[in-house]
Chains A and B, each alone.
Chain A
Amino acid sequence: MKRLLILAALFVIAVAECDAQQRIDDLLNREIESGTTVFRMAVKRDPATGEIIKRVKELSATGNKQLAKEFIAAFESERESVDGWEENRRGSNVVQITAVWLDPKRIYTLTVSGSTLNVFAQTIFREEKNKSK
């Protein structure tokens, strides 16, 4: 019985790890595909192999306070799983949250200022080697 409980606990932890940022990513993907937004994505590849080593997604929207609330809720729901968290609030109109996960390294930033929303999601799959100085 103990073994079963331990296995169940390990499973729950594994699922929780897998789901880190999932809610934010789902929301990002939903808005990219159907929202009234401006979206940019860029990837950096290893020149030798073509493998993606870094991905950046940026989404901007104006005049959609409901969407801003959904993103704030999504960020807050992930707070348990983050490795680093920084939050700045000025009144109820300005919110800035930076969430960091390690392995792979993910830096997600949410900025809500009045009716303007900006979400910046950066994923670094592998640190660049031999970076030119």
Chain B
Amino acid sequence: MKNMMFGVTVILALLCGVTVLSAQDANIQNLTLHHACIEEIHSTLPTCITIANNSSDAIEISLPVNVEPYIEIEVDKKDNILSFDIKEQSMERRNIVSLLEKNPIRVSLSSASLTDILNTSDMSITFEDGTVSKWFQVINTGTLFINGEALNAKDKIEYRNTGTFTSQIKHYNTDMLFLVNTGFLYTNGTTTAKYIEQASTGIENTDLEVACLKLSIHSTGSGVIKYKGSADEVEVLSTGKAKIRTSQLNREE
């Protein structure tokens, strides 16, 4: 009887422990930082970023309580950089990353002065407001997913990818669009960019509707590169592995 009671007690204790652990996993720490003009975001950790539709200087951050002591969130007020990295090596990096893969760091900020995003881990960015600085660059060596209705950078939007990059922006509103890829790059949507340059040695899945003065495609990679709409001048240099579909350009006659 005693043994039975002991067994029941152990099971109950285990159940309680699991419940407490689950609650701890779900515990989220919220932080609010204030800096009006973040120009760059650097992250080496799984991060979900929302570019909010407001002009507030608040940077809202939430992250799991159990990893919070090991993470360094820094606002470099001189260079206007918001960065996320591991603070201490007391907990193994892969353990922290593994925990953050389930509950990533969530960030919400406004975007008007954003020029650079650098990701070396897993990142997703949602543009509620896609108005960024005149020159906007995204550098990805990890896994990056971007979505939103529009990305507005007056002069130039540039993607440099060596990882896996999916861009589901519906409209790129800029003068120049540069896509440089040695990894896997998926880009679709429409753009009014006057100059478009795509340089690929990786795998592409491009489907863009354009209305440009010049389109240049230099490809030694593979995949499918499809452009439709209008382009006054088109230049394609290819080693023939990629399927480059430009026959839909300038169809009106």
- Chain A residues with CB under 8 Å of chain B are 29, 32-45, 51-52, 55, 125
Asked if B90 lies at the interface with its beta carbon under 8 angstroms from chain A, I say no
Q: Which of A33, A35, A43, A125 makes the CB contact (< 8 A) with B232?
A: A43
Question: Does chain A have a CB within 8 A of B238?
Answer: yes
- Which of B53-61, B69-77, B136-144, B240-248 lines the interface with chain A? B240-248
Q: What A residues does B239 contact at CB under 8 A?
A: 36
Tell me if B244 and A33 are in contact (CB < 8 A): yes
What are 21 of the A-B contact pairs (CB < 8 Å)?
A32-B244, A32-B246, A32-B247, A33-B243, A33-B245, A33-B247, A34-B240, A35-B238, A35-B240, A38-B235, A39-B246, A40-B234, A40-B235, A41-B233, A41-B234, A41-B246, A42-B232, A42-B233, A43-B230, A43-B233, A43-B250
Give every chain B residue within 8 A of A37 (Cβ-Cβ).
236, 238, 240
A40: which B residues are within 8 A, CB to CB?
A: 233-236
Is B253 in contact with chain A by the CB < 8 A criterion? yes
Smallest CB gap from A58: residue in B: B235
Question: What residues on A are CB-neighbors of B238 within 8 Å?
Answer: 35-39
Task: Name the A residues within 8 Å of B41 (CB-CB).
Answer: none
- Does B234 lie within 8 Å of A29, measured CB to CB? no
Q: In chain B between 65 and 109, which residues have their CB closer than 8 angstroms to a CB of chain A? A: none
Majority secondary structure of chain B interface residues (helix, strand, loop or mixed): strand
* Given contacts A33-B246, A33-B247, A42 and B234 within 8 Å (CB-CB): yes
Q: Answer whether residue B26 sits at the interface, using C-beta atoms and an 8 A cutoff.
A: no
A-side contacts of B231, CB under 8 Å: 41, 43
Q: Given the complex of chains A and B, what is the CA–CA distance between A125 and B252 in angstroms?
A: 11
Instruction: Evaluate whether A39 and B235 lie within 8 angstroms (CB atoms) in the complex, with A34-B240, A52-B252 already known.
Output: yes
A61 to B158, CA, bound (A): 30
Given A32-B244, A33-B243, A33-B245, the answer on whether A39 and B236 have CB atoms closer than 8 Å is yes
B55 to chain A, nearest CB (A): 37
Bound state CA distance, A36 and B237, in angstroms?
Answer: 8
Q: Which of B209-251 contact A (CB under 8 A)?
A: 230-240, 243-247, 249-250
Known contacts A33-B245, A55-B250: does B234 contact A39 (CB below 8 Å)? yes
Q: Are A34 and B253 in contact (CB under 8 A)?
A: no
* A contact residues around B246 at 8 Å (CB): 32-33, 39, 41
For A38, give its contact among B230, B236, B250 (CB under 8 Å): B236
B230 contact set on A, CB distance < 8 A = 43
Chain A proximity of B253: nearest CB distance (Å): 6
B233, B237, B238, B246 — which one has the most chain A CB atoms within 10 A of its CB?
B238
Contact B252 A51 (CB under 8 A): yes
Alpha-carbon separation in the docked complex, A35 to B246 (Å): 13
- Are A36 and B249 touching (Cβ within 8 A)? no
User: Which residues from chain A contact B247 at a C-beta distance below 8 Å?
Assistant: 29, 32-33
CA distance A14 to B245 in the complex (A): 29
Residues of chain B contacted by A36 (CB below 8 angstroms): 238-240
